[in-house]
Amino acid sequence: MRLMDSRKRLLLAGLAGGILGIALAAAGFWLAGRGGAAGWLPGADAKLLAEVLDRIQADYVDRTDNHELMSGAIRGMVGELDPHSAFMDAGEFEDLRIATEGNYSGIGVEVTLESGAIIVISPVDASPAARAGIRPGDRIIAVDGRPVEGAELADSIARIRGEPGTVVNLGISRQSVPAPLDFAIERAIVSVHSVRYEMLEPGYGYLRISQFSETTGTDVGQALSALRQRGSGQLRGIVLDLRNNPGGVLDAAVEVSDAFLEQGTIVTAEGRAPEASFRMAAATGDLSHGARIAVLVNEGSASAAEIVASALHDNGRATVMGRKTFGKGSVQTVLPLTDGQALKLTTSRYFTPIGISINGRGITPDVVLPDTTQPDGARAPPSGEDSEVRAALAWLKGGKPALAAANAAPAPR
């Protein structure tokens, strides 16, 4: 597998906002310290900052802590850059590290911060949030009865975290439901088993990736081997389900793409720093042995999931089916700081193999399928009973999607 360079790095391409048992992750990160002198602050700006701090200390209605004030100033400065850059304290940084290893305490939902709001990207499969009926696009408007306000987003996120067995009450605004919804969710240890597979019928396999963790590439290889054995050594077609997949480890997304490719570009990125620009390409060896591929996506498919969908589509290996994806096309570098803290900073933008940026645009599927999810967020049926999976299977077998409302005309990307 071709990596960006020889240094030991961990990249995330996804978790478009954060995990609640939360890690404020995003399109990509590597753990790499950077030396160098502190930045230059103009004298007038330094004077203004000191003046503001002095006025707060002297006149604010409550006593303030200088450390908390500076942390808040740093959060505000970094947060104003874009929705995905953030300052992380030691606890948030540790949550991020643990989340990439697949186990953490919380409710299991990925979020992004947009315009002073906490927006759900997707719940983790089989997590407390998924079982409760939390859906992509839900807006968290209250935590334990306290409204979520722009100035207190970090505090709201912290209050969603908690010990296993405790309950958090979320107020949710959902576009399809006129009145706010209330959810009482018991926190638990969330174990992310990112790969699931089964045979849909002889010769046709189903492969579900819920997010991209450090082990996903290996797990996909093992899943494909098992599916081939169940298919008497041959697979005619695979439904690759990336719906509600918020992303994750970039190298894992590259490995998954490579598993289905013999050659070709998987993803490129451009940034100002030399290490922020790179190209990742496939190595020889299609583990599916040329099986037809239908990739299922929706509005909860983000970043690393979009990388895989685009890589397989643009290299002529798959048809993308479902609904327009989230549109997360930037890369964040997580830079460790002092005292276990870290800076998550957008350092580059990535592009599909044919050179398109999906940032803010998403991927429009080749075959658009209607949303069959129930408005109340009812639990999804088993894969064999899932109408979108059946539609993809029908396409793999050479027929049209088994949904009357599906639009089979290729859509512009």
Residues assigned a catalytic role = 303, 314, 328
Closest CA to 246 of 294, 318, 298, 281: 298
CA distance 54 to 72: 15
- Please give the backbone phi and psi of residue 81, each rounded to the nearest 5 degrees, phi first: -65, -50
CA separation, residue 261 to residues 196, 255, 313 (Å): 21, 10, 11
- What kind and span of H or E run contains 243? none
Closest CA to 242 of 324, 192, 309, 291: 309
Q: Are 349 and 269 in contact (CB under 8 A)?
A: yes
DSSP secondary structure of 360-409 = TT----SEE------TT-PPPPPGGG-HHHHHHHHHHTTS--S-TT-B-S
Helix (H, G, I), strand (E, B) or coil at 326: coil
Q: Dig out the tokens for 406 from the structure.
A: 């599906």
CA distance 30 to 15: 14
Q: Are 133 and 123 in contact (CB under 8 A)?
A: no
CA distance 341 to 96: 11
Burial (CB < 10 A; 0-12, 13-18, 19+), residue 184, is exposed
Unique residue bearing structure tokens 């500076």: 70
CA separation, residue 313 to residues 1, 15, 211, 217, 292 (Å): 20, 22, 19, 19, 12
- Please give the backbone phi and psi of residue 216, each rounded to the nearest 5 degrees, phi first: -60, -45
Strands (E), 174-262: 181-186, 188-191, 195-201, 204-209, 237-241, 247-249
Strands (E), 277-326: 278-281, 292-297, 318-322
List 278's β-bridge partners, or say none.
Answer: 269
CA distance 117 to 352: 29
